[in-house]
Structure 1
Amino acid sequence: MAWVILVLSGVLEAVWATALGASNGFRRVVPTIVFVAGMGLSMVGLAFAMQEIPVGTAYAVWVGIGASLTVVVAVLRRQEAASLARIGLVLGLVACVVGLKVVS
């Protein structure tokens, strides 16, 4: 169950990171609310998962999921360009996250 919560918390990290960018320096209300709620829930889930998963592994997986999904969302929204290098690096990050799960 801890792994499921950790993955969901990583997804929420991408949500709050994307909302932070959309908040325009906390000048837009809805993205700011999404940022605060997403960050709070993401942190609670991370803390819960760390009760069963080693801290270093949990944090690396959480960051990896959040960073990867944030890049994917930005590319899909055409806020960032998709290049072979970017796609390769994100896939490498995902491979590392999967590797951490396998060795844990």
Structure 2
Amino acid sequence: MSWIYIAIASLFEIGWAITLKYSEGFTKIVPSIITIILMILSFWFLSIGLKTLPVGTAYTVWTGLGAVGTVILGVILFKEPIEIRRFFCIGLILAGVIGLKITSAH
């Protein structure tokens, strides 16, 4: 169940990263409020997952999944450049996340 909490926390992390962009440096009130709520939810689910998972593994998976999702949505929503080198590096991050999950005793 802890891995599900980490996955949910990662989704909220992706959400707050994207809404942070829309908040334009916390100058737009609605996206700013949404960003803060998503940050709190992300940290809350991370903290639940950390009750039974090693902090280094859980934190790395949380940030790794968040980074991968944010890059993908950045390309879709903000027309960020699609370069093979970027996606190769994202693939390495994803491989590391999968490796940590597979080798985790939990």
TM range (shorter): over 0.9
Q: Distance in 2 between matches of 1:30 and 1:64?
A: 27
Pairing of 1:1-104 with structure 2 (within 5 A): 1-104=1-104
Q: Distance in 2 between matches of 1:30 and 1:70?
A: 20
Q: Distance in 2 between matches of 1:79 and 1:57?
A: 31
Identity of aligned residues (%): 37
Q: Distance in 2 between matches of 1:30 and 1:94?
A: 32
Q: Distance in 2 between matches of 1:44 and 1:79?
A: 31
Q: Distance in 1 between matches of 2:79 and 2:9?
A: 23
In the superposition, the TM-score normalised over structure 1's length comes to 0.96
In the superposition, the TM-score normalised over structure 2's length comes to 0.94
- For structure 2, the 5+ residue unaligned runs are none
What SS does the corresponding residue of 1:81 show, helix, strand or coil? coil
Q: Distance in 1 between matches of 2:10 and 2:30?
A: 21
- Give the counterpart letter for 2:89 in structure 1: L
CA drift at 1:88: 0.8
Question: How many equivalent pairs are there?
Answer: 104
- Give the counterpart letter for 2:61 in structure 1: V
